[in-house]
Structure 1
Amino acid sequence: MSMTVRGVIARSEGAPVEVTDIVVPDPGPGEARVTVQACGVCHTDLHYREGGISDEFPFLLGHEAAGVVESVGEGVTEVEVGDFVVLNWRAVCGECRACAKGRPQYCFNTHNAVQPMTLTDGTPLSPALGIGAFAEATLVAAGQCTKVNPAADPAVAGLLGCGVMAGFGASVNTGEVGRGDSVAVFGCGGVGDAAIAGAALAGATTIVAVDRDPKKLEWAKSFGATHTVDASAVDAVEAIREATGGFGADVVVEAVGHPEVLKQAFYARDLAGTVVQVGVPTPNMVMPELPMIDFFGRGGALKPSWYGDCLPSRDFPELVDLYLQGRFPLEAFVTERIGIDGVEEAFAKMGTGEVLRSVVEM
C-alpha cells in the first residue's frame, strides 16, 4: 500500500521550501520504491525552486541520493529489495537509436516512474530530475537505481547521482583526459572540483584551476590542482598559457555555464585541444561570438557533456570502489550533514560559496 512520508517541496516560484507530508504509491510495473538515506543539496534543486527549469509546481526537490530498495513492481530485474543503490536521472531505455548504436550514455528516451507522488490532498508533485529524494522515500523507475557496494557511506555515495559524476565524467569520459595531459578547469564548485579530481586520477600532470573565490581555489588544490588562477585579478587565458609552456591546455573544462567563460575556455586550449562544457547555462544565454577562422584554425573539439557522458551501471560502482580504496576523494565533497529541515539554509550557504555540498541525512 502507499506510504506517507516527510518531503521537501517548492510550492511556488521563489518561495521558501516546505517540509510536508507526501504520499508515495506502491511501485507499479518497472518501478521501485527506495528508502532514502541521504541526498545532496545541488544547484539544480535551487533552479527548480526559482522556476528556472519549468513552472510545473509544486516540485518535490532532491536528486543526489542513495538509499535502500524497499519494494519493487512487476517485471523489475535490475534491483531487488534490500539493495543499496545510488539514484540516477538517466535510466537508459536500451531501444532508442543511441542505445542501438552502442552509446547508451546518450540515450534519447530515458524514463522515470509513471505514477505520481502527491501531497496528501492528491495534488501531483513534479519530482526534481524525475527523482524527488528530499524525502524519506521516493518512487523511481527501476532503471534509475544503480546497485553499489553497501560499505559506502550513503551521504558520500549519493553525490555520484549528479554533480560529482558530471564533473568527473566531463574530464574522463567527455574530455578523455589521459596520462601526461594538461587540463584547465573554469569554476571550482562541486562540479569543477570533481573534474579536477577526475583529471588527477586519469594522470594529468598539469591541472590549472580558475575561479574568483580564494576559498574555492584552496578547495581545488586539495582535489589535485597544480596551479590556481584568480580570474578576478589576472587574465585567466594568459595564466593558463603560462602554466602550460605557452601553448594552452590539452583539455579545458567549462564548469560555470556562461558564454564569456566558454569563450575564455576556447582560447585557453592548445591547438587541437578539447573544450568541454559541463556548466549548465540558463535558457536565455547564447553562444559567444567567435571569428570563424579561429574556430576553424584551432582545430580540436568543442563538446557539451551530458551528465558527464556517464553510464551509471558502469561508472557508479567503479567510482564507489575507487572511493573505498582511498583512490578517489569522494568524501571530501561533503561539507556538512544536515536534517531534512535544513534545505532552505543550505541554499543560502550555497549562494555565498560556503559549502561544496550540504547533504541531507534522513
Structure 2
Amino acid sequence: MAQEVRGVIAPGKGERVRIETVTVPDPGPGEAVVRVQACGVCHTDLHYRQGGIGEDFPYLLGHEAAGLVEEVGEGVTDVAPGDFVILNWRAVCGRCRACRRGRPWYCFDTHNARQKMTTAGGTVLTPALGIGAFAEKTLVAAGQCTKVDPSVPPSVAGLLGCGVMAGIGAAVNTGAVGRGDSVAVIGCGGVGNAAVAGARLAGAARIIAVDLDDRKLATASALGATHTVNSRSQDPVEAIRELTGGHGADVVIEAVGRPETYRQAFYARDLAGTVVLVGVPTPEMQLEIPLLDVFGRGGALKSSWYGDCLPSRDFPMLVDLHLQGRLDLGAFVSETIALDEIEDAFTRMQAGDVLRSVVVM
C-alpha cells in the first residue's frame, strides 16, 4: 500500500522550501521505491525553487541521491529489494534512434516513473529531474537505479548521480581529454571541480582552474589543478594563453553557464581545440560571437548532457576508482545536514561557502 514520508517541497516560484508529508505509491510495472540514504544539495534544485527550469509547482526537490531499493514493480529484473543504488535522471529507453545507433548516452526518450507522488492532500508533485529525493523514500523508474558496490558511503555515492558525474563526464566523455592535453576549467563549483578531477584521471598534463573565489581554487588544486587563475585579478583568457605557450588550452570546460564566461572559454582554447559547455544557462541568456571567429578557429563547440554518461557503465567504474583511492569523492562534501536544513544550505551555496551540502537521512 502507499506510504507516507517526509519530503522537501518547493511550493511556488521563489518561495522558501518546506517539509510536507508525501504519499509514495506502490511501484507499478517498471518502477521501484527507493529508501533514500543521502542526497546532495545541487544548484539545479535551487533553479527549480527559483522558477528557472519550469513552472510545474509544487516540486519535490532533490535528485543527487543514493539509497536502498525497497520494492520493485512487475517486470523489473535489473535491481531487487536490498540493492544499494545511485539514482540517475536519464533512464535510457534502448529503442530510440540514439540507442539503436549504439549511443545510449544521447537517448532521446529517457523516462521516469509513470505514477505520481502527491502531498497528503492529493496535490500532484513534480519530482526534480524525475527523482524527488529530498524525501525519506521516492518512486522512480527502475532504469533510474544503478546498482553499485555497497561499501561506498551513501553520502559520497549520491554525488555521482548529478554534479560529480556531470563534471567528470564533461572532461572524459564529452571533451575526450587525453594524456598530455592542456585543460582549462572555468568555474570551480561542484561540477567544475569534478571536471578538474576528471581531467586528472584522463592524464592531462596541464590543468588550469579559473574562478573568482580562492577557496574554490584551493579545492581545485587539491583535486588535480596544476595552475589556478583568480579572474577577479587576472584576465582569464590571457592567463590561460600564457600558461599554454601562447596557444590556448586543448580543451576548455565552461562550468558556469553564462554568456561572458562562455566567450572566455571560446577565446581561451587553442586552434582546433574543444569548448565544452556543462554549466546550465537560464532561458533568457543569449550568446553573440562573430561567425567568422567560429569558422576561423575550427575545432569543436560541444554541450555536455549529464557528462554524456551511461550510468550503468560509469557509476560503478567511478565508485571503484573511489574505493581504490584514485578518486576522492569525499573532497566534494563540505557538510552533512538534516532534511530541514536545505533552505539554509541554499544560502551557503549561493555565498560560495560550500562545495556540496549533503542531506543524510
- Aligned residue identity for 2:72: V
- Aligned residue identity for 1:343: I
Other-structure match for 1:149 = 149
Question: What SS does the corresponding residue of 1:33 show, helix, strand or coil?
Answer: strand
Alignment of 1:5-154 (within 5 A): 5-154=5-154
- Aligned residue identity for 2:310: L
Alignment of 1:209-224 (within 5 A): 209-224=209-224
Q: Deviations over 1:292-338 (max 9, x none)?
A: 22211111100000000000000000000000000011111010000
Alignment of 1:234-249 (within 5 A): 234-249=234-249
- Aligned residue identity for 2:224: G
Q: Deviations over 1:90-148 (max 9, x none)?
A: 00000001001100000000000010001011111100000000000000000000000
- Aligned residue identity for 1:346: A
Other-structure match for 1:313 = 312
Q: Distance in 2 between matches of 1:266 and 1:52?
A: 25
Alignment of 1:204-353 (within 5 A): 204-287=204-287, 289-353=288-352
What's the TM-score once normalised by structure 2's chain length?
A: 0.99
- Aligned residue identity for 2:239: A
Q: Distance in 2 between matches of 1:261 and 1:47?
A: 19
Q: Deviations over 1:262-295 (max 9, x none)?
A: 11101100111000000000001112x2222221
Question: What SS does the corresponding residue of 2:80 show, helix, strand or coil?
Answer: coil
Q: Distance in 2 between matches of 1:341 and 1:125?
A: 19
- Aligned residue identity for 2:77: T
- Aligned residue identity for 1:331: G
Q: Deviations over 1:220-252 (max 9, x none)?
A: 111111111111111110100111111110000
Question: What SS does the corresponding residue of 1:110 show, helix, strand or coil?
Answer: coil
Q: Distance in 2 between matches of 1:46 and 1:186?
A: 21
- Aligned residue identity for 1:206: R
Q: Distance in 2 between matches of 1:84 and 1:152?
A: 10
Question: What SS does the corresponding residue of 1:138 show, helix, strand or coil?
Answer: strand
Q: Distance in 2 between matches of 1:144 and 1:49?
A: 23
1:256 to partner: Cα distance: 0.4
Q: Distance in 1 between matches of 2:292 and 2:51?
A: 39
Q: Distance in 1 between matches of 2:168 and 2:4?
A: 36
Q: Distance in 2 between matches of 1:183 and 1:158?
A: 26
Other-structure match for 1:355 = 354
Q: Deviations over 1:69-99 (max 9, x none)?
A: 0000000112111100000000000000100
Question: What SS does the corresponding residue of 1:99 show, helix, strand or coil?
Answer: helix
Q: Distance in 2 between matches of 1:136 and 1:235?
A: 46
Question: What SS does the corresponding residue of 2:180 show, helix, strand or coil?
Answer: coil
Q: How many residues align?
A: 361
Which blocks of at least 5 consecutive residues in structure 2 are unaligned? none
Question: What SS does the corresponding residue of 1:32 show, helix, strand or coil?
Answer: strand
Alignment of 1:170-189 (within 5 A): 170-189=170-189
What's the TM-score once normalised by structure 1's chain length?
A: 0.99
Question: What SS does the corresponding residue of 2:90 show, helix, strand or coil?
Answer: coil
Stretch of structure 1 that moved more, 11-20 or 352-361: 11-20
- Aligned residue identity for 2:88: N
Q: Distance in 2 between matches of 1:67 and 1:356?
A: 22
Q: Distance in 1 between matches of 2:265 and 2:355?
A: 23
What percentage of aligned pairs have identical amino acids? 71
